[in-house]
Amino acid sequence: MRPDTPADPTDHIAEAERLLRTAAQYPEDAEQLLLHAAAHLELAGDRPQATALYDRLLSGEDLDDPALIRALKAANLWEYGHEAEARAIIEGIRTTAPRSPGAWVIAAESLESHDELPTAHAVFTEGVELLLTQGEEVPYDCTSLLLGRHRVRRLLALPHDVWDILADDAHSSSSPITLDELHDPKRLWSLGSSDPAELTAEIARLRAELGTYRTALSRPFPVAVLHWPATELTELLAAYPSLTSEYPSHEEHLATIESSLRELAASGTENLGIVTATVPSYEAFAASEGTSPDDASLLPQYATTLAARGRAVAWPPSGVCWCGSGVAYGECHGAPEVDA
């Protein structure tokens, strides 16, 4: 959430001075220019001067985001020994409850970086509950709040809750790597390690994941059929009884999946797949589409969206059956007598 700065090597002091001169020439853009200058001063190690710049900003009027500036000041103060003042500023942000996602993120990340994980979790949660509404689309500038909260909860070994599910959905639209894997504490610790072997191993994992992602993007878009596991289908029909006409029974649902895929294959359709549905994910999708989950016409759209997010598993499988029975496909739904 900090202002972007050029990659090193950069003469950060010279860049900060240039931005200060530019801010004097263009006072209407001074807030963003001075924030960038402060970020360069922090990168140069001149944290007292960065604090002075934040104070200069906060003494002005008509600021676009004063809460963000206060949070940046707190994070900077903590980095050079002014912990008590930083904590006081963060508590002030929590008390005033600003509508600024960036302020909540910077405050929580500052606590997280100093191993104040329970408090960081509380700050992330307060920001999420203030700025987001369950069932509504997540604004782009609030995504970091959800993802940061998910990361801290993984570090605290807390179970998933409704906000974590929303974070998973927001993340999965742009990456095939799950948040649970991305925020695996072992991975986070290895990234912060000074051990060259650990860093090398993590870089190798990241390269492998990038290769997998590129391969997935290069495949033709799969034609995917929606699969509801038994427990999920039971929950779905209990919540939305009108969908019973689509799914008379779980056994019939499974048989329909197999027969539909065989018909598609017989017609020459290639790259077939199956996507596994969950009720929370489906409800979130329905909310994003502005409709009710009991609308049966939404089901194929949901399947297509899951496939687009890389959730499709190839059909027919080469090993165990896709239905989750644990039995070999050829002895389960792949057996000739199952053909509907």
124/258 Cα distance (integer angstroms): 44
Same domain? 98 vs 33? yes
Total count of domains within the chain: 2
Residue 1 lies in a domain: no
Same domain? 64 vs 189? yes
* Range list of H helices, the chain: 12-25, 30-43, 47-58, 66-79, 83-96, 101-113, 117-131, 143-155, 162-172, 179-182, 185-191, 196-218, 230-239, 250-266, 279-288, 298-308
Per-residue pLDDT for the chain (340 aa), expressed as one digit of tens each? Answer: 445 444 445 688 999 999 899 988 888 888 889 999 999 999 999 999 999 999 999 998 888 899 999 999 999 999 999 999 999 999 999 999 999 999 999 999 999 889 899 999 999 999 999 999 888 888 888 888 999 999 889 888 888 899 988 888 877 766 666 777 777 776 655 555 666 776 676 667 666 655 555 555 445 556 889 999 999 999 999 999 999 999 999 999 999 999 999 998 888 888 899 999 998 888 877 877 778 888 998 898 888 888 876 778 889 998 899 998 899 999 999 887 644 4
| CA 164 remoteness from chain centre | 9
Among residues 184, 216, 248, which one ends one of the domains? Answer: 216
124/104 Cα distance (integer angstroms): 7
Among residues 182, 216, 250, which one ends one of the domains? Answer: 216
Same domain? 224 vs 311? yes
Tell me, what's the pLDDT at 6? 43
Same domain? 280 vs 165? no
Tell me, what's the pLDDT at 127? 96
Q: Which domain holds residue 186?
A: 12-216
Same domain? 205 vs 231? no
In which residue are the tokens 């990241």 written? 206
Residue 4 lies in a domain: no
Question: pTM of the prediction?
Answer: 0.56
Same domain? 20 vs 135? yes
Residue 158 lies in a domain: yes
How would you classify the pairing of strands 272-276 and 223-227? parallel
Nearest partner of 74 among 65, 82, 66, 64, judged by Cα: 82
The domain that holds 165 is classified in CATH as 1.25.40.10
120/227 Cα distance (integer angstroms): 38
Residue 179 lies in a domain: yes
Q: How many CB atoms lie within 10 A of CB 231?
A: 11
Residue 296 lies in a domain: yes
Tell me, what's the pLDDT at 327? 92
Residue 313 lies in a domain: yes
Among residues 151, 181, 216, which one ends one of the domains? Answer: 216
43/79 Cα distance (integer angstroms): 12
Same domain? 205 vs 89? yes
Residue 133 lies in a domain: yes
